[in-house]
A and B are shown apart, each in its own frame.
Chain A
Amino acid sequence: MMENAIAWILIFPLFGSVACAILGMGNKKLCYPIAVLSMAGSLWGGIETLRQVIASEVHTVSYIFGGWTLDNYPRGVGIEFHADILGILITLVVLGVGFIVAIYSKLPVQDETPNKESLFYTLFLLQITGLAGICLTGDAFNLYVLIEVAALTGYGLIAMGSKRAEAATFNYVILGTIGASLYLLGVGYIYIKTGTLNMVGIHDVIVANGLADSATMQVAFVLVGIGILIKMAFFPFHAWLPNAYCNAPTVTSSLLAPLVTKVMIYVMIRMVLSVFGVEFSFESTLWVDVMPWLVVVAIICAAVMALAQREIKRMLAYLIVAEVGYMVGGVWIYNYYGLIGSIFHVISDACMTLCLFLGAGLILRKAKTTHFDGLRGLFSKMPLTMTGFFIGGFSIIGLPPTCGFFSKWYLITGGMVSQRWEYMVVLMFSTMVMVVLFFRLIERIHLAVSESGENLGHGHGDLGLTKEQTRFDEGPLSMLIPLLLAATVVLVVGIYNQDIVNLIEIFLDEFNLPKGVSH
Chain B
Amino acid sequence: MSAPEVTVIEDIRPLIAFVAPLIGVIGIAWAGEKRKNLRETFTFLVATIQASVVLSMVPILLSGSIIEFQIWQMFTHVPLLLRVDGFGLLFACVASLLWIATTVYAIGYMRGLHEHAQTRFYSFFAISLSATIGVAFSANLLTIYFFYEMLSVSTFPLVTHMQDKDARTGGRTYLGYLLFTSLCLLLPAMSWCYVWLDGGTVTMDFLADTGKVGAFSQTTQIVLLALFTFGFAKAGIMPLHSWLPGAMVAPTPVSALLHAVAVVKVGVFCVIRVYSDIFGIQVLQELDGEDWMIGLACATILISSLIALSQDNLKRRLAFSTIGQLGYVVLGATLATEQGVGGSVLHIAMHACGKITLFFCAGAIFVASGKKYVSELRGLGRKMPITMGAFMIGSLSVIGLPPLGGFISKWYLALGALDRDMTWVVVVLLVSSLLNVFYLLPVAVTAFFRDPDDDKETGMKEAPMACVVPLAITAIGCFVLFFFAEPILHLVGLSK
Contacts and interface: CB of A to CB of B under 8 A. Distances in A.
A459 B164 contact: yes
A348 to B, nearest CB: 14
Contact of B75 (A397, A447, A457, A498): A498
Interface string A384-427: 00000000001001111100001001001100110000001000
A330 B164 CA distance: 42
B168 A518 contact: no
Contacts of B171: 443, 447
Contact of B165 (A412, A417, A449): A449
Interface in B69-91: 72-76
B164 A455 contact: yes
Contacts of B180: 432, 435
Interface string B211-226: 0000100000000000
Interface of B is mostly: helix
Nearest to B152: A399
Contact of A449 (B116, B156, B168, B199): B168
B146 A401 contact: yes
B10 interface: no
B168 A443 contact: yes
A431 B116 contact: no
Interface in A116-138: none
Contact of A498 (B73, B117, B175, B198): B73
A114 interface: no
A518 B160 CA distance: 46
A476 interface: no
A399 B149 contact: yes
A413 B194 contact: yes
B288 interface: no
A191 B184 CA distance: 47
Interface string B237-267: 0000000000000000000000000000000
B163 A463 contact: yes
Interface in B168-211: 168, 171-172, 175, 179-180, 183-184, 187-188, 191-192, 194-200
A498 B149 contact: no
Contact of B179 (A435, A448, A454, A459): A435
Contacts of A515: 200
A399 B164 CA distance: 26
Given A435-B183, A460-B116, A461-B116, A516 B163 contact: no
A432 B195 contact: no
B197 A519 contact: yes
Contacts of B291: none
Contacts of A453: 165, 168
Contacts of B197: 519
A501 B76 CA distance: 9
A394 B153 contact: yes
A455 B117 CA distance: 18
Contact of B146 (A400, A417, A516, A518): A400
Contacts of B76: 498, 501-502
Interface in A503-519: 515-516, 518-519
Given A449-B164, A455-B165, A416 B195 contact: yes
B162 A459 contact: yes
Interface residues of A, number: 42
A412 B188 contact: yes
Contacts of A413: 191, 194-195
A446 B157 contact: yes
Nearest to A394: B153
A463 B191 CA distance: 42
Interface residues of B, number: 42
Nearest to A440: B172
A63 B172 CA distance: 56
Contacts of B451: none
Interface in A91-139: none
A357 B184 CA distance: 27
Nearest to B182: A399
Given A432-B180, A432-B183, A498-B75, A448 B164 contact: yes
A502 B191 CA distance: 20
A498 B74 contact: yes
Contact of A412 (B116, B153, B187, B196): B187
Nearest to B116: A461
A495 interface: yes
Contacts of B165: 449, 453-455
A428 interface: yes
A439 interface: yes
Given A399-B153, A446-B163, A448-B164, A519 B199 contact: yes
Nearest to B153: A399
B306 to A, nearest CB: 31
Contacts of A447: 160, 163-164, 167-168, 171
Given A401-B146, A449-B168, A457 B199 contact: no
A518 B195 CA distance: 8
Interface in A336-392: none
B115 interface: yes
A509 to B, nearest CB: 13
B491 to A, nearest CB: 30
B163 A457 contact: yes
A191 B6 CA distance: 67
A164 B74 CA distance: 46
Contacts of B479: none
Interface string A433-457: 0010001001100111100011101
A235 to B, nearest CB: 22
B305 to A, nearest CB: 32
A443 B188 CA distance: 28
A399 B157 CA distance: 17
Contacts of B115: 460
Contacts of A498: 73-76
27 contacts: A400-B150, A406-B74, A412-B188, A413-B194, A417-B195, A428-B183, A432-B179, A432-B180, A432-B184, A442-B156, A443-B172, A446-B157, A448-B163, A448-B164, A449-B167, A457-B164, A459-B164, A460-B114, A460-B116, A463-B163, A497-B74, A497-B75, A498-B76, A501-B76, A502-B76, A518-B198, A519-B215
Interface of A: 394, 397-401, 406, 409, 412-413, 416-417, 424, 428, 431-432, 435, 439, 442-443, 446-449, 453-455, 457, 459-463, 495, 497-498, 501-502, 515-516, 518-519
Given A424-B188, A428-B184, A498-B75, 13 more contacts: A399-B149, A399-B153, A400-B145, A400-B150, A416-B191, A432-B179, A435-B175, A439-B175, A443-B160, A448-B163, A457-B164, A501-B75, A516-B200
Interface of B: 72-76, 114-117, 145-146, 149-150, 153, 156-157, 160, 162-165, 167-168, 171-172, 175, 179-180, 183-184, 187-188, 191-192, 194-200, 215
Question: What 10 A-B pairs have minimum CB-CB distances, sorted nearest first?
Answer: A518-B199, A461-B116, A428-B184, A460-B116, A400-B146, A416-B195, A447-B163, A412-B191, A449-B168, A461-B117
